[in-house]
């Protein structure tokens, strides 16, 4: 049984008048599988992840998650299905004035009563669990910091720590390394993969860093212009295939002005 089964899936932008965001996508993902999505900016990676998270309804084609079409379910059934998925966007929508500990523990909200949730805002219910999750991303020292005092990369890793405390069976992670130096980038990927393997969860991660994708994932899916160009084991993904995927890509590679480095983390700087 596949976690995901997509056949000739087409997703259109809201509002119409523009080309489809995804065209005729065929994709099957098995339970516990780990794969990387790569491709130039605008290829459709973020839209595909949002579709897999049941945030976008497809216009055409087959879309099954856990053996069901989420858009044929009742609203309550679809809500329960979404609770089995965790989407970590590149820019996490974390409340700016919230403490990091509360932002991380929000992963447990689906399992708490309203009273438990309100009580945890005043006094965090499981600070040790939040600390342990943050520490895996070298963020334990930010436990009681305000979210709006975090850098972009710290906010990303805060959202990933929240994912570790969720009960999700599928991790959908969008560009988690965009503001990290190479050492932290590798730590982040390793942590995500270890957690997914430990709970036999599926991990689908979009990456701008092709070298990281090829070094860490056994299956690589290349997207361009909303279409899958290749879907292959990494040993079959050649340099020529990568060059063709990114050919004539006019968008410059992202170079964040503020990369997090181990030296900055050592002094716990906010910047």
pLDDT bracket for residue 266 (50, 70, 90): very low
- In this prediction, residue 91 carries a pLDDT of 87
Sign of CA dihedral 165, 168, 170, 174: negative
- In this prediction, residue 270 carries a pLDDT of 27
pLDDT at residue 66 greater than cutoff 70? yes
Task: Name which CATH class applies to 1-74+170-191+199-271.
Answer: alpha beta
C-alpha 263/C-alpha 181 separation (Å) is 11
Average predicted confidence (pLDDT) for the chain: 86
pLDDT bracket for residue 92 (50, 70, 90): confident
| Stated length of the chain | 271
- Across 17-21, 66-70, 151-155, 262-266, the highest mean pLDDT is recorded for 66-70
- In this prediction, residue 17 carries a pLDDT of 61
- The DSSP element (H or E) to which 83 belongs, if any, is none
The region of weakest confidence among 25-34, 74-83, 102-111, 142-151 is 102-111
Domain ranges for the chain: 1-74+170-191+199-271, 85-167
pLDDT at residue 166 greater than cutoff 90? yes
C-alpha 102/C-alpha 162 separation (Å) is 9
The region of weakest confidence among 13-27, 118-132, 185-199 is 118-132
pLDDT bracket for residue 106 (50, 70, 90): confident
* Domain 85-167 in the same topology as domain 1-74+170-191+199-271: yes
C-alpha 230/C-alpha 220 separation (Å) is 8
pLDDT at residue 268 greater than cutoff 90? no
C-alpha 1/C-alpha 106 separation (Å) is 31
- In this prediction, residue 116 carries a pLDDT of 53
pLDDT at residue 18 greater than cutoff 80? no
- In this prediction, residue 260 carries a pLDDT of 43
For domain 85-167, say whether CATH 3.40.50.300 is its number: yes
Residue with tokens 């809201």: 14
C-alpha 231/C-alpha 251 separation (Å) is 23
């Amino acid at each position: 049984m596949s976690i995901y089964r997509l056949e000739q899936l087409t997703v259109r932008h809201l509002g119409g008048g523009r080309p489809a965001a995804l065209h005729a996508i065929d994709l099957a993902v098995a339970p516990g599988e780990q794969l990387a999505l790569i491709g130039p900016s605008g290829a459709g990676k973020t839209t595909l992840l949002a579709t897999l998270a049941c945030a976008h309804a497809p216009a055409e084609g087959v879309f099954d998650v856990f053996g069901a079409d989420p858009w044929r379910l009742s609203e309550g059934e679809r809500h329960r299905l979404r609770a089995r998925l965790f989407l970590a966007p590149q820019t996490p929508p974390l409340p700016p004035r919230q403490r990091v500990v509360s932002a991380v523990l929000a992963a447990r909200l689906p399992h708490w009563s309203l009273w438990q949730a309100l009580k945890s805002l005043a006094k965090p219910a499981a600070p040790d669990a939040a600390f342990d999750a943050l520490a895996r991303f070298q963020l334990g020292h930010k436990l009681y910091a305000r979210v709006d005092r975090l850098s972009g990369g710290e906010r990303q890793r805060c959202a990933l720590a929240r994912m570790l405390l969720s009960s999700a069976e599928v991790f959908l992670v969008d560009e988690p390394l965009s503001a990290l130096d190479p050492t932290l980038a590798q730590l982040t990927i390793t942590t995500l993969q270890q957690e997914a393997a430990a709970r036999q969860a599926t991990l689908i991660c979009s990456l701008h860093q092709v070298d990281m994708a090829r070094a860490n994932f056994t299956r690589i899916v290349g997207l361009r212009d909303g279409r899958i160009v290749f879907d292959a084991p990494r040993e079959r993904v050649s340099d020529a295939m990568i060059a063709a995927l990114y050919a004539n890509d006019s968008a410059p590679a992202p170079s964040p002005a503020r990369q997090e480095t181990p030296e900055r983390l050592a002094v716990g700087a906010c910047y």
